[in-house]
Amino acid sequence: MEDNHSVHKICVLGLGYIGLPTAALLATNGFAVVGVDVNPMVVEAVNRATVPIAEPGLATLLKAAVNSGNLVARSEAEPADAFIIAVPTPVSEEKKADLSYIAQAAESIRPLLVPGNLVILESTSPPGTTRNFLAPVLARSGLVAGQNLLVAHCPERVLPGRILKELIGNDRIIGGLTKESAEAAKAIYARFVEGQIHLTDATTAEMVKLMENTYRDVNIALANELAVICAELDISAWEVIRRRAAGFAVYVLGAGKDRPSEVKLVALGAQ
Ligand SMILES: NC(=O)c1ccc[n+]([C@@H]2O[C@H](COP(=O)([O-])OP(=O)(O)OC[C@H]3O[C@@H](n4cnc5c(N)ncnc54)[C@H](O)[C@@H]3O)[C@@H](O)[C@H]2O)c1
């Protein structure tokens, strides 16, 4: 298998809240990046260096990336050394993750794959998706994950409004279908990630992300319950939180700077 230092060109599929900042960071850190989106308006906006989404610092970064010549947007994927899939994985009415966008993205790169390529799934996905869903689609190329194709999962852990800060500063977890896959993916993220990069297997990485989201959801619900009870008792939830005893590890953030404005009470177990 080719060594990971041979990664020069990266194709990022999905130029939304996750894919676009990632593509711009990769481009400003020396990679030749082709950003791919099925929405022609997004492709056009990115090529004009205009941000289609509001995110602090992204406009400046995108301009630098496009002006350097290292980032171009396209409607279709093209051959590359590595592919990063950052497409939506919404929850369906049946409360299941809709993996159809991942299937479409994987299908679109399947004919382009050559031995030694690396495919990284960034989309939030149910545990087992990389191994049991993505790898079989990619296998239709005739390449075998773990033998002549590197496949890894690297979930995103960012909050909207702080995406660039968090993409750079957060610790990352990278799960490979093989150790070599995880290490190859690490070599890419290490170009711009200042946090720790932890390597594991793909399913564990998916489970870590799922548990982080679950933990956060439970804490948001807890904070909202607290707010309702405090309102009934005519006391201040903020005062309760400020006076919380050690061990009552609920962090409550108000609406405002760096936070989605609709959030009234958000409890975070970890900041
Ligand atoms: N937004 C966040 O804060 C956040 C945080 C952590 C994880 N995530 C996860 O990251 C993934 C991406 O989320 P997002 O917020 O960037 O989504 P988004 O909706 O902002 O962007 C997704 C982009 O993918 C494009 N797309 C869809 N199918 C495609 C295909 N086959 N090929 C190329 N492009 C395609 C869409 O046109 C869209 O522009 C999801 O799994 C999400 O759960 C998001």
Whether residue 270 is predicted with pLDDT greater than 50 in this model: the reply is no
**Across the chain, what does the average pLDDT equal?**
88
Whether residue 237 is predicted with pLDDT greater than 80 in this model: the reply is yes
Whether residue 261 is predicted with pLDDT greater than 70 in this model: the reply is no
Position 160 scores a pLDDT of 85
Position 259 scores a pLDDT of 36
Confidence class of residue 248 from pLDDT cuts 50, 70 and 90?
A: low
Domain boundaries of the chain, sorted by first residue: 4-201, 211-268
Q: Which residues line ligand 1 (CB under 6 A)?
A: 13-19, 36-39, 42, 86-89, 101, 104-105, 108, 123-124, 156, 158, 160
- The rounded Å distance from CA 18 to ligand 1 centre is 6
Position 264 scores a pLDDT of 41
Domain 4-201 class in CATH: alpha beta
Position 251 scores a pLDDT of 54
Confidence class of residue 3 from pLDDT cuts 50, 70 and 90?
A: very low
pTM over 0.85: yes
Task: List the one residue out of 60, 252, 209, 84 whose CA is nearest residue 152.
Answer: 84
β-sheet bridge partners, residue 266: 253
Give the closest residue (by CA) to ligand 1 atom 31: 105
Position 54 scores a pLDDT of 86
Position 244 scores a pLDDT of 66
Determine the residue of 18, 76, 98, 208 to mutate for testing ligand 1's pocket, defined as the one with the most ligand atoms within 8 A of the Cβ atom. Answer: 18
- The rounded Å distance from CA 103 to ligand 1 centre is 13
Position 164 scores a pLDDT of 94
pLDDT tens digit sequence for 118-169: 999 999 999 999 999 999 999 999 999 989 999 999 999 888 899 999 999 9
- Tell which wins on pLDDT, 245 or 39: 39
* Two structure tokens written together for 73: 């947007």
Whether residue 73 is predicted with pLDDT greater than 50 in this model: the reply is yes
- Residues sharing a CB contact under 8 Å with residue 166, sequence separation 6 or more, in sequence order: 157, 158, 159
Whether residue 252 is predicted with pLDDT greater than 70 in this model: the reply is no
Position 186 scores a pLDDT of 98
Determine the residue of 156, 172, 266 to mutate for testing ligand 1's pocket, defined as the one with the most ligand atoms within 8 A of the Cβ atom. Answer: 156
Nearest-atom number in ligand 1 for the CA of 160 is 3
pLDDT tens digit sequence for 184-215: 999 999 999 999 999 999 999 999 999 998 88
What is the pLDDT averaged over residues 33-49? 97
pLDDT tens digit sequence for 89-115: 999 989 999 999 999 999 999 999 999
3-state secondary structure the chain: CCCHHHCCEEEEECCCCCHHHHHHHHHCCCCEEEEECCCHHHHHHHHCCCCCCCCCCHHHHHHHHHHCCCEEEECCCCCCCEEEECCCCCECCCCCECCHHHHHHHHHHHHHCCCCCEEEECCCCCCCHHHHHHHHHHHCCCCCECCCEEEEECCCCCCCCCHHHHHHHCCEEEEECCHHHHHHHHHHHCCCCCCCEEEEEHHHHHHHHHHHHHHHHHHHHHHHHHHHHHHHHCCCHHHHHHCCCCCCCCEEECCCCCCCCCCCCEEECCC
Whether residue 22 is predicted with pLDDT greater than 50 in this model: the reply is yes
Position 249 scores a pLDDT of 52
Position 241 scores a pLDDT of 77
On whether the CB atoms of residues 164 and 57 are closer than 8 A, the answer is yes
C-alpha distances in Å from residue 21, one per residue of 81, 164, 206, 220: 20, 7, 21, 26
d(CA 153, CA 242): 38
Confidence class of residue 30 from pLDDT cuts 50, 70 and 90?
A: very high
- The rounded Å distance from CA 15 to ligand 1 centre is 7
